[in-house]
Structure 1
Amino acid sequence: MTDSPPPQVWPTLRADDARALIRFLVEAFGFEEAVVYGEGDRVDHAQLSWPLGGGIMLGSAHDRGPDDKWSLRPGTFGAYVVTDDVDALHKRATQAGAEIIQPPQDTDYGSREFAARDPEGNLWSFGTYRGSLPAK
């Protein structure tokens, strides 16, 4: 069987301006908008899919109330995302205004990668390293 299972781990973040962050992540990094629920500027729930599999979920940080059990501060998220073409993605991110904090480089473990910060302050690392198989 060559099909991988659907994602079972969803990194999640909150944003001060979730709608603007969604637009940025789609334009700069190539995420694909799957669903967005909410009214006006508020985003109650959004799912952005990554073309190679998986994705993230996000929502607005404000107006959640004192009983919010998932109170994540905007700008404190970080993720590593696998991509096949680091240099093309770096160029796309740069053209879209992403703050590049690490230009493309080759690592000693065989990955090519770069790192950027989104307008909310979250850190994103994109690279070719797909992880290793678990030891048996």
Structure 2
Amino acid sequence: MACIVYYSLTGQTRKFVNKVAGFDKYEISSDKEAIEMTEPFIMVIPSYESHVYGDVIETAEEFLECGDNAQLCKGLFGGGNRNFAQLFCVTVKELSVLFDIPVLHGFEFQGSPLDVATLTKELEEIDQYEKIEH
């Protein structure tokens, strides 16, 4: 079953992810050792100001480099603030290029009901695809 892997420094991303029902969630941070995933997942990563950006991208990169995590990551959801213009969701844009993982969606702050529905739909599609493959 698909799950959600996410990073949340301020709690906004955690609040967004917790609105999605029926899927396991795993929070990554620089304080935790990266674990090797065994199921497909969508990664939800926010973008922050430059002084914390390095920790976010480094933590996400280390996680994706662990075992087969990059191959199991089926897409990226980016959180951010549209006021940052071209820097909106910059973290997932960089991860997409580095690991060849598609950016599926961008959302602001804690996400809207549409953002929650979009993540839920993407997770359900992964589960449907996995059932067909097995």
Structure 1 length normalisation: TM-score? 0.30
Structure number with higher relative contact order (C-alpha < 8 Å, ≥ 6 residues apart): 2
Larger relative strand fraction: 1
Q: Which has the larger radius of gyration?
A: 1
TM-score, structure 2 normalization: 0.31
